[in-house]
Structures are given as C-alpha cells and as structure tokens.
Structure 1
Amino acid sequence: MSQSDIALAVLVIFTASFCGICAWALWPANRERLKSYGLIPLNEDKNHD
C-alpha cells in the first residue's frame, strides 16, 4: 500500500465522518435540541447581579 493510497483512505474516512455528523445534526429529532444549545450564550445569566 503506497502513501497516496493511505492518504486517499484517510480522506474518504474523514469525508464520510463529516457527512455523517452533518446528517445527525440536521436530523429532525435532533434539530430542535441542538438549536437550543446554540442559543445558550444569548440567554441571560439568572444568577448575575
């Protein structure tokens, strides 16, 4: 197995992983929960005076 074959295999694995993570994040069951996580920094801190 040459170095270019290994590089191609790593590229394919990375691309498949990235697409899988994107699909999981955009899946309808997860979308609302993850959207609410994105709004956490914008919420006011209730314990802050």
Structure 2
Amino acid sequence: MSLLIFCPSPLALFLHFSILILPRLIISCVPSFFSSIFIKLFIAFYGIITYFLGL
C-alpha cells in the first residue's frame, strides 16, 4: 500500500519500472539503429510524462 501511496498514478509506477528495465533491454538485445530510435522515443515519452506530472 505504501508503494501505491508513494506513486499516485499507474503512469508514475510504469515510469519507474521503465527507467529500471528499458536501459537493460537497449544494452542487451537491440541493434544500434533501432536503439537510437528507441532512445529518442523514450526521451520524448519521459518528457511528456514529466510535463504532465509537473516536474
């Protein structure tokens, strides 16, 4: 329950998990061309989420 209180929305929880998991996926099993596109999409997604969270 304290984790749900700490993270007020499922989007915030998903953001925390994506920060932990996505860099490992990019490093381990993604080709360089696709990883560059994926990193740009992840940065854009992170910017949108932080904008909506007011950070």
TM-score range, shorter chain: 0.3 to 0.5
TM-score, length of structure 1 as denominator length:
0.46
Higher RCO (CA-CA < 8 Å; seq separation 6+): 2
TM-score, length of structure 2 as denominator length:
0.41
